[in-house]
Amino acid sequence: MDGVLGIAALSMNQDQSRLATISHNLANATTAGYKREIPVGRTFAGLLQAAGTDAARAFATSVPVSGSALDMRAGTLRATGNPLDVALEGDGFFELQGPAGPVYTRQGTFGVDARGRLVHASGLPAAGEISVAGGPPGIDAQGNVLDDGKPAGRLRVVAFARPADLARLGEGLYAATADTAPLAANARVRQGWLENANVATAKEMVGLIETVRHYEANQRLIQGWDELLGRTIRTLGEF
């Protein structure tokens, strides 16, 4: 594949990945606790390098030329009035008990299952098997859970030195990796509140429009280059 076409093809592949990331952010703009993904792609110099011997193979086999990183900045808080909704002020994550070990989330939507356990919206129980048999529990700023005024347990809240390195599990859940270890958190628990997604819809829409236009520009480049080659071949054929 010609170098110019290779650069354009790889750039369009990167635009497709970027569009998918932005679309995912927009789709979750109203999801409590959602952390936006930041599109990460190759530099122009990287595309130039890839456009050599690897360009055709990378495009033909759809080898990813870009990806995304997590933006772990906190979103704003909104009051819900639901005693089983909780949010964190400050850095930290609620710890849940997953089937293969601890799982972490900023999405504080909880409920009570048939066994009386405090469970997350994902169905995973809060770490520590907190049971509430009475009415709506009370939850203080330290995460202590009171059932009819009696201690029933405490929501575990942990922090990470590099939260963006957590492994994404979907549904607002994350898992620690070999490079991430939970630390003591200095976050305040707010009962009756939820954290909004940290997605700025207007900013995402601007990024969406820019990416679409960039993709279209690459399309025109490929079409123009193809027409130029066609004219060159026809002209050479006249001799």
pLDDT tens by residue, 146-170: 998 899 999 999 999 999 899 999 8
- In the DSSP assignment, the letter for residue 230 is H
Element of type H or E holding 154: strand 150-154
pLDDT at 55: 46
pLDDT at 213: 93
Q: What is the DSSP string of 118-139?
A: EEETTSPBBTT--B--SSSPEE
Q: Which of 63, 61, 77 is nearest to 192 (CA)?
A: 77
Residue 238: CB atoms within 10 A of its CB come to 5
Element of type H or E holding 173: strand 173-175
**If you search the block for the tokens 């006249």, which residue do you land on?**
238
pLDDT tens by residue, 37-73: 998 865 555 555 555 545 444 444 444 445 788 899 9
More confident site: 237 or 156: 156
What Rg value do the Cα atoms of the chain yield, rounded?
A: 25
Percent over 70 (pLDDT), the chain = 87
pLDDT at 96: 97
pLDDT at 8: 79
Pairing of strands 86-89, 157-159: unpaired
CA dihedral 88, 92, 94, 99 (to 10 degrees): 160
pLDDT tens by residue, 188-230: 999 999 999 999 999 999 999 999 998 888 888 888 877 777 7
Q: What are phi and psi of 214, to 5 degrees?
A: -65, -40
